[in-house]
């Protein structure tokens, strides 16, 4: 069988497969053939090459981004995703250490580090509603590009010394142990698809209505809750990996809403 040469191939307008899906598959073929290593074509170039509308091109690119093959950010041309960060599930981890361990340069822009109060968050931490909290809000960057928007709440009675820490290039867990004598030993995470709000999409460089992952984490030191974290992470740059055996516990499904009787 003769392989298709590099370059665009005509789309079949009589096919039941939508044009955007055909375009997405042909772009994937061209990637596998080694095209676009220097530069990924702009939308206007693709509309001309394939004689399709810009809407069709954007739908095709949306699929490639969702599959983690292309990175698209506001104000920058699309490009191939040559490095996707993987995170194992089922274990305590520090994003800072995981990125550094994978050879990824990690730094953060600190958006907020202050005392606050929040009744629902305090409840998650097993505190009274008006208990003082320390909030740390960061934009996490990997190799200089946005990866995650991270907001962490901790009880002020244990985390007050963190107000003097510089979180631009350090681990929260490392600072928490060094400055506060508190070690996070376990916890629970919930991961689900999420549609970022306008501010989060802008911070992460996501296109309008582009989904991401949301991670909610309750971290404990022994039996005591010491961390409530809400993270929005780019789906095109991050993958979760799980290992399992025949003895693994069954997946816990979110409870269904009860039907009115």
Domain containing 165 equals 85-240
Total domains in the chain come to: 2
Residues 122 and 162 occupy one common structural domain: yes
Calpha distance 233→230 (Å, rounded): 10
Say if 250 falls within a structural domain: no
| 76 and 90 belong to one structural domain | no
Q: Which CATH number does the domain housing residue 164 bear?
A: 3.40.1410.10
Domain assignment of residue 221, yes or no: yes
222 and 96, same structural domain? yes
Angstrom distance (rounded) from CA 10 to CA 5: 12
Q: What is the pLDDT along the chain (261 residues), one digit of tens a residue?
A: 444 456 788 899 989 999 999 998 888 888 777 787 667 788 888 999 999 999 999 888 888 877 667 766 555 566 665 555 555 555 545 555 555 555 667 789 999 999 999 999 999 999 999 999 999 999 988 878 888 899 999 999 999 999 999 999 888 998 999 999 999 998 888 888 889 999 999 999 887 778 888 989 999 999 999 999 999 988 776 666 666 565 656 556 565 544 444
Q: What pTM did the predictor assign?
A: 0.63
In a domain, residue 182? The reply is yes
Q: Does 199 share its domain with 112?
A: yes
Q: Are residues 62 and 111 in the same domain?
A: no
User: What residue spans of 33-81 are helical by DSSP H?
Assistant: 43-50, 54-66
pLDDT of residue 152: 96
My answer on whether 89 and 184 are in the same domain is yes
**142 and 74 both lie in a single domain:** no
**Which of 235, 231, 243, 210 has its CA nearest to residue 95?**
231
pLDDT of residue 1: 43
Same domain, 111 and 30: no
For residue 174, give the 3-state DSSP assignment. helix
Rg of the Cα atoms in the chain: 22
- From 35, 61, 80, the end of a domain falls on 80
Same domain, 126 and 218: yes
pLDDT of residue 63: 81
Q: Is residue 90 part of a domain?
A: yes
């Amino acid at each position: 069988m003769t392989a298709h040469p590099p370059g665009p191939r005509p789309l079949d307008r009589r096919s039941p497969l939508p044009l955007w899906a055909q375009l997405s598959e042909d772009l994937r073929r061209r990637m596998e053939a080694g095209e676009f290593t220097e530069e990924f074509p702009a939308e206007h170039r693709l509309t001309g090459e394939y004689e399709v509308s810009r809407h069709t091109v954007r739908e095709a690119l949306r699929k490639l981004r969702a599959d983690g093959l292309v990175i698209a950010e506001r104000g920058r041309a699309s490009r191939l995703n040559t490095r996707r960060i993987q995170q194992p599930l089922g274990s305590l981890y520090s994003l800072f250490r995981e990125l550094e361990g994978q050879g990824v340069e990690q730094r953060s822009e600190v958006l907020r580090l202050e005392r606050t109060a929040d009744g629902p968050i305090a409840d998650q931490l097993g505190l009274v509603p008006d208990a003082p909290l320390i909030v740390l809000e960061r934009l996490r960057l990997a190799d200089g590009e946005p990866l995650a928007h991270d907001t962490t709440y901790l009880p002020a009675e244990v985390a007050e010394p963190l107000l003097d820490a510089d979180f631009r290039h350090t681990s929260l867990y490392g600072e928490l142990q060094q400055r506060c004598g508190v070690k996070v030993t376990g916890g629970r995470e919930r991961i689900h698809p999420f549609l970022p709000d306008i501010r989060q999409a802008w911070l992460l460089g996501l296109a309008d209505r582009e989904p991401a992952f949301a991670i909610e984490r309750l971290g404990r030191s022994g039996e005591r809750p010491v961390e409530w974290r809400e993270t929005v992470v780019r789906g095109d740059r991050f993958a979760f990996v799980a290992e399992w055996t025949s003895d693994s516990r069954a997946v816990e499904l979110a409870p269904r809403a009860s039907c009115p009787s």
